[in-house]
Amino acid sequence: MSAIVKLDQIYKSFGSNQVLKGVSFEVQKGEMIAIIGASGSGKSTALRCIDRLEKIDSGTIEVCGMRVDDPAVDLHKLRQEVGIVFQSYNLFPHLTVQENIMLALRHVKQQPKAQALSVSLAALEQVGLGNKADAYPEQLSGGQQQRVAIARSLAMAPKVMLFDEVTSALDPQLTGEVLRVMEDLAAGGMTMLLVTHEMAFAKRVADRIIYMHQGTVWEVGPGEMLDNPKTPELHAFLNNGL
């Protein structure tokens, strides 16, 4: 099976700070990959390189058959294939929930209004917020706003979804809301890469976990690797998290 996402020997520095030091991994279609590691280990940078939000210094990245590291890559097409959800929801406060989702459908996908209305509502139903279409972001909890941000990405029908610490600003109850949506997506076969500190969720839902340490892929395995780490670094990381 050919990988839908493939990183090969990725190096990335910000000034004199080398953040990624030869990162390589592959993701198969339908896989759910959780990336864990201490702050500064390169997790979020690796994720952002996949969507070309950061340009790499060297190495190759292939996503959905496109060479992301190619200066001539079609970013418009890439970002239709790859959805990304951040810690901050980035919703427009002056637009309703449904209008926020419709924006890209109308302007990027050029969908007629009736179709965009239908697609946006279906995406809201998918994240359990079909009854909030006419609400404004400020009327929603943080967990609901994050679910709207996920719905906005889903509406674009991406082949790959990237989640960057999407629950780190939420309290435990709201975190649970968002994780349930992501678990449903994984069960439905969405290809997902998730940078997270939610170890129990990663262990339960991820097909594989990638532990990053000091800009490298240090250990990779199924969820059970969190019970039986092979390296002292992962052992220390998990113990520090308790």
Per-residue model confidence (pLDDT) at position 241: 57
pLDDT of residue 1: 62
Q: What is the pLDDT of residues 49-96, one digit of tens each?
A: 999 999 999 999 999 999 999 999 999 899 889 999 988 888 999 999
User: Which tens digit of pLDDT belongs to each residue from 189-211?
Assistant: 999 999 999 999 999 999 999 99
What does the pLDDT look like over 25-44, one tens digit per residue? Answer: 999 999 999 999 999 999 99
pLDDT at 216: 97
Q: What is the reported pTM?
A: 0.92
C-beta pairs of 150-153 under 8 Å, 24+ apart in sequence: 150/85, 150/178, 150/181, 150/182, 150/185, 151/101, 151/120, 151/123, 151/124, 151/126, 151/127, 152/91, 152/100, 152/101, 152/104, 152/123, 153/83, 153/84, 153/85
> Region 118-140: what's the mean pLDDT?
95
Q: What is the CATH number of the domain that holds 44?
A: 3.40.50.300
For the chain, percent of residues with pLDDT exceeding 70: 99
- Partnered with residue 220 across adjacent β-strands are 210
The separation between the first and the last C-alpha atoms of the chain, rounded to the nearest angstrom, is 38
Q: How many domains does the chain have?
A: 1
Range of the domain at 193: 5-240
- Is the distance from CB of 3 to CB of 26 less than 8 angstroms? yes
